[in-house]
Structure 1
Amino acid sequence: MRTRTAQLLCLIAVLAAGCGQGHSSGGGGGDDGGGQAGNGDADRRARQVAAAWDGSDAAEAWRRGFHPMADLVQLPDHAFRTAADKEAYQMQNFALRGRLPTAAAQKGTVKWGDGRALTLPMMDAREGFGTLDRYSGEGPELVVTGARLGRTELATSRGPATVPAWLFTIRGYGTPLERVALAPSEAPESPIGPAAEVPSDVLWPLEQVKETAQDGRSVTVLAGHGECDDGPAVDVLETGGSVVLSGSIRNPSEGDCPDVLKITKVTVTLARPLGDRVLLDAFTGRPVPYGTEFGRNPSWD
């Protein structure tokens, strides 16, 4: 029987689709993919997802690509000086009061510590500025007075890498705002479909990856839950090729509850560093999306 918490969360997350009983739309291993997860099925579903991905073409394509696991924008030191500056950044309201390099777009190289490299098309300075400045209304603004091409270090699905970045000079700050100059690779098609059409309180999709520890031994994710429960839980299944995270809701309410979707940070400790293993969501059967305050990383758009 679906709890009141699950009903409310379904209403919020998949209102257009309704919240009827879900069914399997994909599978891995030797059975139907788990269907609507039950008390004993979440671990089985996680193992199906791991079996579908480990050794697959999708996993190989994922490892060959450039999939950032950190924000594509690195703020200047001591940002933000004022509440207005912070508001301008959150609104994505930038103003150009100088000249940007006009050289045509080139190729840029991602370099990993183990010697691997990947060359990709690189955006020019004006395109990079356009990814920052997305608001055209009134309000506080951050003023860009120039830019130069440099490099920055970024966490990726294949470990830390150095990547080309546009270093924008921001009026009032002594260090630049760094914007990665490469677009993330497109995520490969998953070899397994979602566990069901809609979530349940025993298997719920994760919102996004928030942070990966520098040593790779823990991952912090954002997980959803309701107003009248004990918050989210995230279980982990580790294999040689993947790490599968299963989100659920602890002690969901059976009674009346406000229609509120709450998002909570959950840190999961791993038995060994994540490395280039694929970080997967048991419910969706896909890599857990990395996101920023402006939404998901373009790898998952």
Structure 2
Amino acid sequence: MDFELRVIEAITNNFADDQIVGSGGYGVVYRATHEGEEIAVKKLRQLPGLGDKQFDSEFRNLRNIRHQNVVRLIGYCYESRHKYMDHNGDLVFAQIMERVLCFEYMHGGSLDEHIQDKSCGLEWPTCYKIIKGTSEGLNHLHNSQGKHIYHLDLKPGNILLDESMTPKIGDLGLSRLVASTKTRQTEMRDGTLGFVPPEYIKDGFISKKFDVFSLGVIIIKMLAGNKNYVRCSEIPPEQFIQLVRAILSPSVKTGRKSCRKRQDIPHTK
């Protein structure tokens, strides 16, 4: 749906502060209601280098995604306007490009609101549901769109939850299309520290493994909490893989949503 800027301004009360529900590197998110449906309105910042072609490609990229574990794009607004602005002490008449994306509103908030210092505040069946749904959404982005969509900033704050705690991957503003399955090198540096794989930090390489690494960090934080995540990282890789398989295997084999309780997970020291 193509929104006019005046409509966006009306439903956000001219982008009022009391309607802000979040913000990130790409923009500010407002809660609004349009035709009886609550939506999230993301107003993109005036970012250098975000050209018309890049935005158009990003919008088309998002518009074509249809999956139960990816936040649904409802519409967009892309308008140019002129306004007086202060520039080095002088008042200048400048052209401003307003870019806005509108998504379905997720009433359950984000996953990071539930991860505590020592564990996740959710019961294991819910945690498993979130892990499984996020994995399926990520697989859809990587493999089902003709060209691969890499999120590049997957973290608990970008995993949104609906009323039934179904997870949906959000904030695809940093996603990039990659034309082939081959690893490529890039000069850009995106992502959130702690969720970025070492090969990217060192050499800037991007592949499917980038998002998979981020997902692994999320799963560990859900099981161990923020503080205990550091302890988990000290376990030898082989031992850690065995522990994860032992925790997940009952549900994977039987299809049940329950398995070993978090308190039964071996402590790491």
TM range (shorter): under 0.3
TM-score, normalised on structure 1? 0.21
Bigger strand share: 1
**Higher RCO, 1 or 2 (CA under 8 Å, sep at least 6)?**
1
TM-score, normalised on structure 2? 0.23
